[in-house]
Structure 1
């Protein structure tokens, strides 16, 4: 199976990341995919579709499977995510990705940004008290002010709406991490 991806002109170019994933054993592939989204059903569904014909098909399938995340699956996946503002421990790929995704949150060290971070920490505690779980958001590239505004808005959600939002955020994170996985070749 040729592992290619169309470039901007539509011409097929080799896709080493896709080729690497397609060479993995099922168990190795499951391990790699679980770093993107720790939901067994999602991992198994994608692993069962390997080898992948092209990047677009893989990403579309991953997105489709992630749209069906249940509240129980979201709770399991949340257990592996650090709070916003806390650095993920460990030297594994997933921890490194998490640190990178949150890097904009703590990047600014001026007084105003420090105040935003303190207010965020307080609001995060309110969120955890209200919903009984950590606040999860696709933080990649978002500032502390943007994350604080999102967090405050989400405090008004009912539990069912919030679980739906968490599932959507997990889907976004999985998509970003799957691209990182493909680009790691």
Structure 2
């Protein structure tokens, strides 16, 4: 059986397709804080289905220039740890984040969609440690890919009427 991509109730996609451009743009900014990305995705409406919307969002994310990437990274927050994480883990993670930000000049971003809560801390620490070995250009590419993945997951949640970003509620579609 062929694997199907994410689905979405037709009325949600219709609402996104017909929303005023400024409303769609604001919603998209909760997924990825890049005005050029949000403008491009908004401008190409209507989308026939969610996979087409996600493909357009991916394509726009792949085309982010250095300034767009820097702006998007500046609006990201650190990944949240699961509730009940012990203080030593917070200390280790804070030190790792500080080292990362010192080396690369921006917050560490990672997409944790579909990662079980009990694996989040290990994944984040392992990823930071691994990515600290990257040169700045390589890390820029990795961070851009993580931003693309974050935006994709947030866009799916926003079009389903759920909270899009870690710190920003989505504008209802």
From the CA coordinates, give the structure whose radius of gyration is larger.
1
Matched residue of 2:82: which SS?
A: helix
Structure 2 match to 1:80? 75
Q: Do the aligned partners of residues 114 and 139 (structure 1) sit closer, same or farther apart at CA in structure 2, a change above 3 Å counting?
A: farther
Aligned partners of 2:48, 2:12: CA distance in 1, in Å?
12
1:117 CA drift (Å): 2.4
What is the TM-score normalised by the length of structure 1? 0.76
Residue in 1 aligned with 2:57?
62
Structure 1: runs of 5 or more not aligned: 1-7, 85-101
* Aligned residues of 1:42 and 1:66 also touching (Cα < 8 A): yes
Confirm or deny: 8 A CA contact 2:109 2:143 kept in the other structure: yes
Paired residue for 1:21? 16
Mapped pair 1:115 → 2:91: no
Q: C-alpha separation between the residues in 2 aligned to 1:14 and 1:123?
A: 41
* Structural mapping, 1:71-150, within 5 Å: 71-84=66-79, 102=80, 105-109=81-85, 113-140=86-113, 141=115, 143-150=120-127
Taking the aligned partners of 1:13 and 1:169, their CA distance within structure 2 comes to 23
Aligned partner of residue 124 in structure 1, secondary structure: helix
Q: Name the SS of the counterpart of 1:146 in structure 2.
A: helix
Q: Deviations 1:62-83 (Å, cap 9, x if unpaired)?
A: 1111112222211101121122
Query: Equivalents in 1 of 2:65, 2:140: separation in Å?
Result: 8
Counterpart selection for 1:38 from 33, 43, 49 = 33
Which whole-Å CA distance do the structure 1 matches of 2:105 and 2:9 have between them?
Answer: 46
Q: Report which structure shows greater RCO (CA 8 Å, sep ≥6).
A: 2
RMSD: 2.1
Instruction: Tell me, yes or no, if the aligned pair for 1:138 and 1:170 is still in contact at 8 Å.
Output: yes
> CA–CA distance in 2 between the matches of 1:117 and 1:43?
34
Distance in 2, Cα, partners of 1:74 & 1:163: 8
Label 1:120 to 1:13 Cα distance change in 2 as closer, same or farther (>3 A). closer
Distance in 2 of aligned mates of 1:146 and 1:13: 29
Q: How does 1:146-185 map to 2 (within 5 A)?
A: 146-184=123-161
**Scaled by the length of structure 2, what TM-score is found?**
0.81
